[in-house]
């Protein structure tokens, strides 16, 4: 028994030591840019080193913590991936927002300059306000259209399955493609039908409406499916009871169906809210954010239809101000996080009430 | 259990070793002109046959943000040996990471390379493009308009009026194919056309108006007003269906089909006429093409020619092989492919190949006569056109702005970008 334990202990120690050594060698080669000779093996060393360390941890002679160790080893791939793709970039991004990073190098730390600058930039404030307006309008419109479609698709019409699929279909097309399709419709088809020389996309206010139309068209089908699901959960006996009591369809809708699916409304409202906030692809493909705005904060703006996500993208990729864009992205993150927290709170409250 | 573990470890090792072996050989070229992807790959193949050295051509374009892609490559430690850049804004990203090519063989044969502020030659030129008011010679001949007679705003206006009056007789849709769609063609209006305000009529090294622009976004009101009057003329005589809501394909195919006497696009549409729209072009009689200077002031007699972009060499890559390849590409062997297959106008003096391009004779004539100006707009901030001034050209085209409003809006907006 003791022999086995000590054997295990020495095995575990050897594996750990070997693994750490390989890891360190590979990291050393990478940092010093030694890519030839032993450096050419750095990738293999890294992987093998990491596996040896895992094996070493697995063989640690302990009965008490053995189960915990195994759990950790099984969780490791997921946690590692999550850290590499989400946690670490977030902190690095937070750090970059305090620099003048241009995507390749940064020359100095600028403190809160980036954060102060964005509130003095009329174009950004415009994008922010426009996005809020866009979110409010869409939250109402998408839900209204989706709910009406859901009501339509839960009646005993012929070919309801076809209609459901047809309404949902736009959601399966990627935003960029969809943007270009609609650009063609606005520029080449609607101009001919209305015999107007210019498409709706050429003027800021009509272009904004155009984006809303396309967005509702794209998203209402998806939300409709959720409402259909919600409506299907309304118990039949309650509806029958109402019918026997002589309630009209309108009364059934407002007094029974809507209150019964209140939770669905909450979900759909927040789904549209967060996704409208993040609107990017349709915006990019349809107008690329251009549009004239006069006299906003005393300036003439050229980014009349630019939502906040596109504004951040352009700041980074067109203007090469990655640090500044990162600061804007942090603000955007905070706004979205607040909205999401609010969502969780409200839905929890409602669930308790029910 | 241990046996399986051991086998697994050995296997992983081989897998991990594979990529390092695969990338060890040859160099990579990051090309930003997707139109010339095939000829370039052909050139690389010919080079490999001649020297045994492999060149991997990676072509991106058509709306892909090249510099953003490059930055991703850089972050991933995957930089190509040779990469494209469109002037100062792009190359400023890579300060100190590019090789000075002053002493390389090809540099002795051309003056079109990109030189940075410190005097280092960092950009390899591979083609020459021209910006001028392109015309369809057969329509002008039929209308009895001599392109050489267009030398200033009055003669341009007279020619436009004459052709406009004969539209039905000539079978054309409009005098000029000009499109100011701010989403799709901001680069045509706010970079190429605007470039004429900066350079037209000036010597190649004259940066008077460019310097003024970069000094807080200032415009020379008199010159710019004259420029605006020319744009107003284009607005008036362009095809209304194209003017605001059209796109590049409509514009170029319309010109190829002989619908417009003039078009506001440069020499790059030459290869579209002979390839993409060759049926339309043939139906319109394979007409001759040429350039009139954008003469918004009397005496402007130059068209704008330049390398549209350059290739830089990454310092930490395989510099020797990159040098060998670029030197080879600049010789007649390489230039023959670039000129005859890719339709490039060679920037190299020793090149003898002649491009099969409708615009090539016109460019050669202007170059031989010394009547060319440079493209200083390449050095304006990359997002000026897309984010700021493109929409003003569109507003102007829609008739929302008068000439004075246009000038005022430009003067008001450019300083938001160039501080």
The model's pLDDT over A71-80, given as tens digits with 9 standing for 90+, comes to 989 999 999 9
Q: Do A314 and B183 touch (CB under 8 A)?
A: no
- The answer as to whether B168 is a domain residue is yes
pLDDT of residue B20: 47
Q: Which residues of A touch B242 (CB under 8 A)?
A: none
Six-digit token string for B187? 């680069």
Six-digit token string for B300? 């402007």
Domain count, chain B: 2
Q: Do B247 and A48 touch (CB under 8 A)?
A: no
Six-digit token string for B257? 């089909």
Residues B317, B395, single domain; the answer is no
CA angle at A269 for the pair A268 and A272, rounded to the nearest 5°: 80
Domain that holds residue B298: 130-305+373-417
pLDDT at A353 over 60: no
Q: Do B16 and A51 touch (CB under 8 A)?
A: no
What is the pTM assigned to this prediction? 0.84
Residues B334, B401, single domain; the answer is no
pLDDT of residue A342: 86
Q: Which of B246, B247, B391 sits opposite A302 (nearest CB)?
A: B391
Rounded Cα gap, residues B334 and B329, in angstroms: 4
- The answer as to whether B357 is a domain residue is no
Phi, psi of B50 (to 5 degrees): -75, -35
For residue A152, what are the CA distances in angstroms to A160, A164, A231, A255, B240?
Answer: 8, 9, 11, 18, 42
DSSP string, A89-114: HHHHHHHHTTB---SS----B-TTHH
Q: Which of B17, B74, B409 sits opposite A300 (nearest CB)?
A: B409
The nearest alpha carbon in chain A to B179 belongs to A198
Residues B117, B258, single domain; the answer is no
What ipTM did this prediction achieve? 0.80
What is the sign, positive or negative, of the torsion defined by CA atoms of B313, B317, B319, B320?
negative
Q: Which residues of B touch A317 (CB under 8 A)?
A: 65, 67-68
pLDDT at A123 over 70: yes
Residues B332, B253, single domain; the answer is no
Q: Which of A43, A51, A300 sits opposite B413 (nearest CB)?
A: A300
What are residue B129's DSSP bridge partners? Answer: B306
- The mean pLDDT of chain A is 89
- The answer as to whether B301 is a domain residue is yes
Residues B213, B300, single domain; the answer is yes
- The answer as to whether B409 is a domain residue is yes
pLDDT at A171 over 60: yes
Rounded Cα gap, residues B29 and B84, in angstroms: 8
Q: Do A104 and B71 touch (CB under 8 A)?
A: yes
- The predicted model gives A236-253 an average pLDDT of 90
Residues B226, B171, single domain; the answer is yes
Q: Which residues of B touch A41 (CB under 8 A)?
A: 17, 20
Rounded Cα gap, residues A41 and A47, in angstroms: 10
- The answer as to whether B361 is a domain residue is no
- The answer as to whether B354 is a domain residue is no
- The answer as to whether B226 is a domain residue is yes
Per-residue confidence of chain B (419 residues) as pLDDT tens digits? 566 666 665 666 555 555 444 444 689 999 988 878 888 999 999 999 999 899 999 988 766 788 888 998 998 888 999 999 988 888 988 988 999 999 999 999 888 899 988 889 999 999 989 999 999 999 999 999 999 999 999 999 999 999 999 999 999 999 999 999 998 899 999 999 999 999 999 999 899 999 999 999 999 999 999 999 999 999 999 999 999 989 999 999 999 999 999 999 998 898 888 888 999 999 999 999 999 999 999 999 999 999 999 999 999 889 999 999 999 999 988 999 998 888 888 888 888 887 778 898 888 889 889 899 999 999 898 889 988 999 999 999 999 999 999 999 999 999 988 88
Q: Domain holding B109: CATH number?
A: 3.40.190.10
> Most distant CA pair in chain B: distance in Å?
92
pLDDT at A128 over 80: yes
Rounded Cα gap, residues A245 and B106, in angstroms: 93
Over the stretch A291-307, which tens digit does the pLDDT of each residue have? Answer: 999 888 888 899 999 99
The nearest alpha carbon in chain B to A101 belongs to B93
pLDDT band at A90 (very low <50, low <70, confident <90, very high): very high
pLDDT of residue B1: 57
What is the distance in angstroms between the Cα of B16 and the nearest Cα belonging to chain A? 5
Q: Do A46 and B16 touch (CB under 8 A)?
A: yes
What is the sign, positive or negative, of the torsion defined by CA atoms of B198, B203, B204, B206?
negative
pLDDT at A8 over 90: no
Residues B119, B220, single domain; the answer is no
Residues B54, B138, single domain; the answer is no
Over the stretch B312-331, which tens digit does the pLDDT of each residue have? Answer: 999 988 999 999 999 999 99
Q: Do B93 and A103 touch (CB under 8 A)?
A: yes
Q: Do B398 and A198 touch (CB under 8 A)?
A: yes
Q: Do A202 and B244 touch (CB under 8 A)?
A: yes
Q: How many CB pairs under 8 A join A and B?
A: 114
Q: Which residues of B touch A48 (CB under 8 A)?
A: 9, 12-13, 16
pLDDT of residue A217: 94
Q: Do A43 and B383 touch (CB under 8 A)?
A: no
Q: Do B387 and A199 touch (CB under 8 A)?
A: no
- The predicted model gives A256-271 an average pLDDT of 88
The nearest alpha carbon in chain A to B67 belongs to A317
Residues B108, B139, single domain; the answer is no
The nearest alpha carbon in chain A to B90 belongs to A320
pLDDT at A92 over 90: yes
Residues B193, B238, single domain; the answer is yes
């Amino acid at each position: 028994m003791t022999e086995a334990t000590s054997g295990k202990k020495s095995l575990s120690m050897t594996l750990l030591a070997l693994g750490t050594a390989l890891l360190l060698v590979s990291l050393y080669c990478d940092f010093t840019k030694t890519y030839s000779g032993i450096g050419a093996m750095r990738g293999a060393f890294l992987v093998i080193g990491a596996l040896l360390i895992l094996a070493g941890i697995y063989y640690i002679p302990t009965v008490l913590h053995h189960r915990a160790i195994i759990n950790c080893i099984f969780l490791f791939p997921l946690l590692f991936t999550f850290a590499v793709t989400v946690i670490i970039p977030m902190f690095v991004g937070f750090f970059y927002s305090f620099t003048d990073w241009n995507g390749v190098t940064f020359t100095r730390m600028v403190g809160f300059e980036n954060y102060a600058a964005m509130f003095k930039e009329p174009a950004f404030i415009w994008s922010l306000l426009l996005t809020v307006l866009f979110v409010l309008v869409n939250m109402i419109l998408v839900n209204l259209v989706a709910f009406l479609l859901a009501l339509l698709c839960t009646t005993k019409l012929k070919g309801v399955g076809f209609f459901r699929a047809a309404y949902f279909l736009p959601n399966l097309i990627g935003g960029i493609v969809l943007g270009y399709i609609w650009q063609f419709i606005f520029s080449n088809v609607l101009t001919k039908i209305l015999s107007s020389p210019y498409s709706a996309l050429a003027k800021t206010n009509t272009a904004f409406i155009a984006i809303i139309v396309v967005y509702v068209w794209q998203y209402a089908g998806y939300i409709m499916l959720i409402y259909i699901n919600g409506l299907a959960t309304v118990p039949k006996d309650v509806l029958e009871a109402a019918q026997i009591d002589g309630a009209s369809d309108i009364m059934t809708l407002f007094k029974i169906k809507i209150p019964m699916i209140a939770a669905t409304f909450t979900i759909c409202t927040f789904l549209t809210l967060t996704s409208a906030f993040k609107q990017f692809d349709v915006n990019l493909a349809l107008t690329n954010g251009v549009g004239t705005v006069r006299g906003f904060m005393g300036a003439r703006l050229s980014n009349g239809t630019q939502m906040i996500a596109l504004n951040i993208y352009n700041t980074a990729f067109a203007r090469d101000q990655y640090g500044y864009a990162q600061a804007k992205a942090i603000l955007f993150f905070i706004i979205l996080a607040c909205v999401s927290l609010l969502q969780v709170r409200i839905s929890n409250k409602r669930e308790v009430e029910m | 259990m241990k046996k399986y573990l051991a086998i697994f470890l050995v296997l992983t090792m081989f897998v991990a070793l594979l990529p390092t072996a695969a990338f060890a050989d040859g160099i990579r070229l990051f090309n930003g002109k997707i139109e010339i992807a095939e000829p370039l790959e052909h050139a690389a193949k010919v080079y490999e046959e001649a020297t045994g050295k492999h060149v991997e051509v990676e072509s991106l374009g058509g709306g892909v943000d090249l510099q953003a892609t490059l930055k991703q490559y850089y972050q991933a430690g995957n930089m190509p040996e040779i990469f494209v850049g469109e002037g100062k804004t792009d190359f400023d990203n890579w300060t100190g990471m590019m090789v000075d090519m002053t002493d390389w063989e090809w540099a002795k044969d051309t003056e079109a390379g990109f030189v940075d502020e410190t005097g280092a030659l960092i950009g390899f030129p591979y083609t020459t493009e021209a910006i001028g008011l392109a015309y369809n010679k057969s329509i002008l001949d039929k209308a009895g308009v001599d392109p050489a007679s267009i030398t200033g705003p009055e003669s341009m206006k007279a020619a436009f009026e004459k052709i406009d009056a004969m539209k039905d007789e000539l079978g054309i849709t409009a005098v000029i194919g000009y499109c100011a769609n701010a989403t799709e063609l901001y680069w045509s209006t706010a970079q190429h056309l605007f470039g004429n305000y900066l350079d037209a009529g000036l010597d190649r090294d004259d940066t008077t108006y460019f310097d003024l622009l970069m000094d807080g976004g200032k415009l020379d009101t008199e010159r710019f007003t004259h420029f605006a009057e020319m744009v107003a003329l284009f607005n008036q005589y362009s095809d209304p269906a194209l003017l605001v809501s059209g796109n590049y394909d409509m514009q170029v195919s319309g010109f190829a089909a002989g619908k417009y006497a003039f078009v506001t696009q440069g020499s790059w549409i030459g290869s579209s006429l002979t390839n993409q729209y060759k049926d339309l072009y043939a139906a319109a009689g394979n007409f001759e093409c040429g350039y009139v200077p954008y003469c918004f002031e009397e005496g402007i007699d130059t068209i704008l020619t330049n390398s549209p972009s350059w290739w830089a060499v990454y310092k930490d890559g395989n510099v020797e092989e990159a040098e060998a390849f670029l030197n080879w590409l600049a010789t007649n062997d390489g230039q023959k492919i670039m000129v005859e297959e890719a339709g490039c106008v060679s920037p190299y003096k020793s090149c003898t190949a002649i491009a099969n391009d409708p615009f090539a004779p016109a460019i050669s004539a202007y170059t031989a006569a010394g009547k060319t100006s440079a493209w200083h707009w390449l050095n304006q901030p990359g997002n000026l056109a897309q984010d700021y001034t493109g929409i003003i050209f569109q507003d102007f085209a829609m008739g929302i702005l008068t000439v004075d409003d246009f000038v005022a809006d430009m003067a008001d907006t450019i300083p938001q970008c160039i501080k």
